[in-house]
Each structure stands twice: as C-alpha cells, then as structure tokens.
C-alpha cells in the first residue's frame, strides 16, 4: 500500500490490526516500521526510485498523524524526555513514532524533529525542569560527525548526570554510541523505552543557560 501511495488502503490495514487487538507499539514497530525499512532497502538496492520512497514516507507520516491520538495518556507524567536528530539528519518519522510510544508509557515528550542545531538542542534541554533523559536519532553516516559534536555540546551545557542516548540505524552498538560521547545505546524504540522504564526515579533538572557562541 505504501509503495503505491495508497493512504486509505494503508490506513485500513493498520485499523484492521487495531481492531484485531494490536496495540500501538505493535502497529508502529512490528507493522509500519518494517515496511518502511524494506522500502528504504529497496531504494538502496536500486529497485525503486527515491521518489517512491519519499511518497511512501509522506503517506506513513500522515498515518502516524492520524493514529497519534491513540497514544495520549491522562494522569501524572513520569518526567519529560527530549528527543531529536542532530544537524544534517533528515529523517523525523521514527522520532514521531518514538514520541508517541513514550507518551503511551507515561512520559512527557519534547520532540525537536530532525536537523536540529546543537545550540537549539541545548536551549530546549535547558528549558525543561523535569528532564530525565535526552535521546538522539542518527540514521545516516553523514550525520555522525554532527551527532558527536552535539554530544560534546550537550555535556558542556547540562553536565554528566543526565543520561544521553544515541540510537538509529547509523549507530551500531553501545561501543559506537559511547565513542561518539553518549552514555547509552538505544536499540530501537523498545530499547529506549526499556531504558527509561529502568530509571528508579525522575528528578527535576535545573535550568541552565545555553553556552554563548556555540556551534550550530
């Protein structure tokens, strides 16, 4: 359905899964994400034009927008999580799905989307009083250098106590994440959620002034 850009048919597939008892985590991670990954792989192998991949992503983005309300959760939040992509990162759909699932698990989420300058990341982190973790998604090797710079900029601004996680298809494993300056490796959305669920407490994080003249 996504390859044909048939939004209605794609929505019907997801709605049918929900009607059959699938939760939003299953819909996002076990149905929608694998299809998108296969479309991306087909483009990488030269089997489809990039325009097909872009149209499929656009349809999937609309589907996530239609389903997002199902992840809303009432009641007290467990703390706030900041997520986004570093400068040069072009993919934001996985972040949107991650944000929805974090909300489903009781977290408040600030999603900066893709291609966020380091100082803007720091400004956002410094303005959140109950920040419990920062997650950065990197999907292409071209964004690794900016991710490393972001890790350094974040550390100078917010210190060492707040956990910073790196994930995404360009991050191979924990050693790779740590070599770029992160504390932890998020193996997909479930890995990020599992890490947060393992935190014993949430704590208020004092606001800090973003560094002047830092690198965007």
pLDDT digits (tens, 9 = 90+) for 158-176: 888 899 999 999 999 999 9
DSSP letter at 137 equals E
Q: Per residue in 101-155, pLDDT tens?
A: 999 999 999 999 999 999 999 999 999 989 999 999 999 999 999 999 999 999 9
Token look-up 């560094």 returns: 211
Q: What are the percentages of helix, strand and coil residues in the chain, rounded to 5?
A: 50, 10, 35
Question: How does residue 200 score in pLDDT terms, banded at 50, 70 and 90?
Answer: low
Q: Per residue in 15-32, pLDDT tens?
A: 999 999 999 999 999 999
- What pLDDT is attached to residue 5? 83
Quick one: angle between helices 93-104 and 33-44, nearest 10? 160
Token look-up 């070599």 returns: 179
Percent of the chain with pLDDT over 70: 92
Token look-up 């994440």 returns: 177
State the first-to-last Cα distance of the chain, in angstroms, to the nearest integer. Answer: 39
Quick one: angle between helices 118-126 and 144-158, nearest 10? 30
Sign of CA dihedral 129, 89, 169, 101: positive
- What pLDDT is attached to residue 160? 86
Residues in Cβ contact with 187 at an 8 Å cutoff, skipping those fewer than 6 apart: 167
- What pLDDT is attached to residue 213? 45
């Amino acid at each position: 359905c996504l390859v044909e850009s048939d939004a209605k048919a794609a929505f019907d597939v997801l709605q049918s899964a929900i009607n059959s008892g699938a939760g939003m985590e299953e819909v996002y991670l076990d149905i929608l994400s694998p299809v998108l990954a296969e479309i991306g792989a087909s483009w990488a192998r030269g089997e489809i034009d990039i325009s097909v991949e872009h149209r499929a992503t656009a349809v999937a983005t609309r589907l996530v927008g239609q389903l997002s309300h199902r992840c809303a959760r009432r009641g007290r939040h467990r703390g706030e999580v900041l997520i986004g992509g570093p400068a040069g990162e072009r993919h934001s759909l996985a972040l949107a799905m991650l944000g929805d699932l974090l909300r489903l698990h009781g977290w408040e989420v600030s999603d900066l989307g893709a291609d966020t300058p380091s100082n803007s990341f720091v400004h956002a982190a410094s303005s959140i009083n109950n920040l419990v973790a920062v997650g950065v998604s990197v999907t292409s090797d071209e964004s690794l250098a900016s991710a490393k710079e972001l890790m350094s900029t974040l550390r100078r601004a917010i210190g060492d106590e707040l956990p910073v996680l790196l994930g995404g298809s360009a991050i191979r494993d924990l050693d790779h994440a740590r070599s770029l300056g992160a504390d932890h490796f998020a193996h997909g959305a479930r890995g990020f959620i599992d890490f947060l669920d393992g935190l014993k407490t949430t704590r208020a994080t004092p606001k800090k002034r973003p560094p002047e003249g830092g690198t965007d």
